[in-house]
Structure 1
Amino acid sequence: MNTMMVPTLRFLTVFFAIPLLLGGAVAQERLKVAVAGLSHDHVHTLLRAYQERRIEVVGIAEANTRLVDRYRKNYELPDSLFFSTVGEMLNVIHPDVVLAYNAISEHVDVAEVCLPLKVPLMVEKPLAVNNEQARRIAQLAAEHRTPVFTNYETTWYDSNQTLKQLVEKGTIGPLKKVMVKDGHQGPKEIGCSEDFLNWLTDPTKNGGGALIDFGCYGANLMTWLMNGERPVAVTAVTRQLKPATYPRVDDDATLILEYKNGTTGIIQASWDWPYSIKDLQVYGEATSLHAVDAHTLLRYSSAREQESLPLETTYFNDHLSYLTALLNGDADGTDDLSSLSNNLIVVEILQAARESAMRGERVLLDSPQR
């Protein structure tokens, strides 16, 4: 395995646990957002928030004129919002934050522009396609003391937030095993746009297939539940169950994460589920918790004893309310699901999983300098 001389993860934490001394940065009522790219279908969520006047979109950088025309028409966006590049856009406007909706491999390019200008950045999951790009983003964040966040749908699930609170309270005892299942029938099957599919199924631009697209959820949640601890080893198997549909990337992946205290994480990521699923289960000595979906949390004391638990959390509803609170100094994002510290480990897990699947063997994460 190739190694590279980079600062250790312990050293980097000094920088990406950046104090968000940005109180008052978002003095206006609505968050001023700039958009980097329109090829990720998750951008629809942001533009619906714009239509509902929850946020103010002050600029959009997209070089693809066909995409620009489509979004301009669908969301009745003025011509003045559009720029060809992020650099051109930030020479003209001064947003509170840039949200990236482009290929994962391009996140580092957006960071190279935003962070030297001290413009906070949030990317769609995962942070980067490999450790080299992730560490470059962390380096830029540290040098310019500007935060970078990663957005996952499951961060805003009340079930997951309540589950974490119960684990921290010791409700289930020592954490023995974690199982995470994420995915759906497949991006083509559920109707993702061609522009999204073009890079989502590209091994260079996305870093892989289902392993990256949905394995990142499990790695993110597992790192959070383990309070930022790195696994000691990763074993992964990837498959192409639908090679005619996804000839260039995996569409099914299973990961096993081993931790030094004996905890095991099992991540099942697939574009071949019979329906959409984002499911988290944790097991203690005599009790288990099961976040079935965003609004359902179950507790089992045996195979036949099931109890539905109330969701007790005051966490944020979505990434926009989260960003507003952070940039106003009303919240601390250190080591949470969106944090750079967590997501550097996520990328490391995914890279080790790719290597394990390719080599057919267990990969040790014996040093943060892998």
Structure 2
Amino acid sequence: MTTLRIGIIGVGGIAQTRHIPAFLELRDQCTIMALSDVNIERARETAEKYRIPHVFENYHDLFSKVDAVCICTPNKFHAEISIAALEAGVHVLCEKPMALNVAEGEAMLSASIKADKVLAIGYHYRFMKEAQAAKKAMQDIGTPLVTRVQALRRRKVPGWGVFTNKDLQGGGSLIDYGCHLLDLALWLTGNQKPISITGSTYNRLSKTPNQINIWGEYDHDTFDVDDHVTAYIKFENGASMLFETSWAANIKDDQEHVSISGTNGGLSVFPFELYTAKNGMLLNSEAAWLPGNEDFGLSQAQNFVDACLGNAELIVQPHEALQVSQIIEAIYENDKS
């Protein structure tokens, strides 16, 4: 196989703003052959817009036309569609999170191993230039000791789609947004095994009437997911992580922050900075970026296509994505106890 035939399942916002444009950029290596969506009219309009030849209402009918699929549906359907695709002999790029829960994620991983097909999960923060630089610089900070993660939005509850529907999404700010920076922090520190997880979830702000929300209107009466989450995680190697994420919190500004303190130095990812102490000085280093591709969506698509064609290893391995789901589930369960 020299080129990859791709199908897109679910043609909502993330498909049209990230995945379809990225795969179209890689037209020498792949072709988008088919679309599927429960909203068949939206699928047909999208196919016409991008000149994609085949449209299906039932995603099962798409598998015979493609070698790989990109799944962009609500979280509830990630496992079902991924497993069906893998059993049909089709590679899978599934949007984050991997699944609603750990059991579903484990079933997806088992299906990919049995089928010997690629299973990638869309944790695109790993492909950002700052994240790639931080991964290379981890060797300079020694053994990681403490990691701090903040994925905070002041008033950005998604007012579109099904993001506030617990049945379809499994949760709110943690499973939708915080999962990205949680995954990034785990990857940078070597995906160590957690031994203790405590956490708290909140949604009092978003259930209060007449809240200001930058990202559109939502029904506060039916809001049943988390809008703010905190957690403390201890790992088998002695390291720890302080984690916080929100869609709605009374803070000054939105914040995306991952910092790691190690035995020989430390770093911050956004912006990328390296902190060391030597020659009798405390040193702070910043990156001078060289020209290059800064489209993380394109880099993610490129890695998936290369992996399917046997030319690269996945940057986001499915067992790593499963660990993110395990921690998310543990935080939710811990808050119930």
TM-score clears 0.5: yes
Gaps of 5+ in 1: 1-24, 360-370
Indicate the residue corresponding to 2:227 in structure 1.
251
- Report the AA paired with residue 243 of structure 1: K
Closer/same/farther in 2, CA of residues 155 and 37 from structure 1, 3 Å limit: same
Displacement of 1:148 after TM fit?
A: 0.8
Q: Which of residues 321, 324, 328 is equivalent to 1:343?
A: 321
Taking a change above 3 Å as real, the CA distance of residues 81 and 314 of structure 1, as seen in their structure-2 partners, is closer
Tell me the SS of whatever aligns to 2:268. strand
Do 2:12 and 2:72's aligned partners in 1 also have CA atoms closer than 8 Å? yes
Among all aligned residue pairs of Structure 1 and Structure 2, give the percentage whose two residues are the same amino acid: 18
Q: Which amino acid aligns with 1:225?
A: L
Deviation at 1:102, TM superposition (A): 0.2
Distance 1:119 1:151 in 2: 17
Would you say the 8 A contact 1:218–1:267 is kept in 2? no
Read off the aligned partner of 1:272 and give its amino acid letter.
A
Q: CA deviation at 1:250?
A: 0.7
Structure 2: gaps (5+ residues): 209-217
CA contact (8 A) 2:35 2:54 kept: yes
- Contact 1:154–1:278 at 8 Å: present in 2 too? no
Q: Once the 2 structures are TM-superposed, how far is the Cα of residue 33 of structure 1 from its aligned partner?
A: 1.5
Q: Does 1:214 align with 2:177?
A: yes
Partner of residue 113, structure 1: 84
- Which of 173, 179, 197 does residue 142 from structure 2 map onto? 173
Letter in 2 for 1:33: I
TM-aligned CA distance change 1:87 to 1:107, over 3 Å: same
* Distance of 1:288 and 1:339 partners within structure 2: 25
Task: Using the TM superposition, give the Cα deviation of residue 89 of structure 1 relative to its aligned residue in structure 2, in angstroms.
Answer: 1.3
Cα distance between partner residues in 1 of 2:144 and 2:306: 31
CA distance in 1: counterparts of 2:93 and 2:253, whole angstroms = 28
AA aligned opposite 2:325: V
Looking at structure 2, the residues matched to 351 and 209 of structure 1 have their Cα atoms a distance apart, in angstroms, of: 12
Confirm or deny that 1:224 pairs with 2:187.
yes
Kept in 1, the 8 Å contact 2:118–2:307? The answer is: no
Whether the aligned pair in 2 keeps the contact of 1:103 and 1:206 (CA below 8 Å) is: yes
| TM-score, normalisation: structure 2 | 0.83
Tell whether 2:72 aligns with 1:101.
yes
Change (3 A) 1:52 1:221: closer
What CA RMSD, in Å, does the superposition of the two structures yield over aligned residues? 2.8
Match of 1:126 in 2: 97
Q: CA deviation at 1:123?
A: 0.7
Classify the secondary structure of the residue corresponding to 2:85.
helix
CA displacement at 1:77 relative to structure 2 = 4.0
| In 1, Cα distance between equivalents of 2:121 and 2:34 | 20
| Matched-pair contact (CA < 8 Å) for 2:185–2:258 | no
| Aligned residue in 1 for 2:54 | 81
* Aligned position for 1:46: 19
Counting matched residue pairs gives 314
Please give the secondary structure, in 2, of the residue aligned with 1:128: coil
Amino acid at match of 2:144: L
Deviation at 1:64, TM superposition (A): 1.3
1:160 to partner: Cα distance: 1.2
Please give the secondary structure, in 1, of the residue aligned with 2:193. Answer: coil
Instruction: State the shift of 1:318 in Å.
Output: 1.7
> 2 CA distance for matches of 1:129 and 1:148?
16
Do the aligned partners of residues 164 and 50 (structure 1) sit closer, same or farther apart at CA in structure 2, a change above 3 Å counting? Answer: closer
- Higher mean alpha-carbon deviation, 133-142 vs 42-51, is at 42-51
Q: How big is the shift at 1:39?
A: 3.5
CA contact (8 A) 1:86 1:113 kept: no
Match of 2:135, SS state, is helix
Deviations 1:87-143 (A, max 9, x none): 11123x1x2310000011101111232111211101111101101111111121122
Q: 2:136 is aligned with what amino acid? A: Q
User: In the alignment, is residue 264 of structure 1 matched against residue 240 of structure 2?
Assistant: yes
Structure 1 length normalisation: TM-score? 0.76
Whichever structure has more strand as a proportion of its residues is 2
Structure 1 contact 297–310 (Cα < 8 Å) conserved: no
Equivalent position to 2:306, from 302, 307, 325: 325
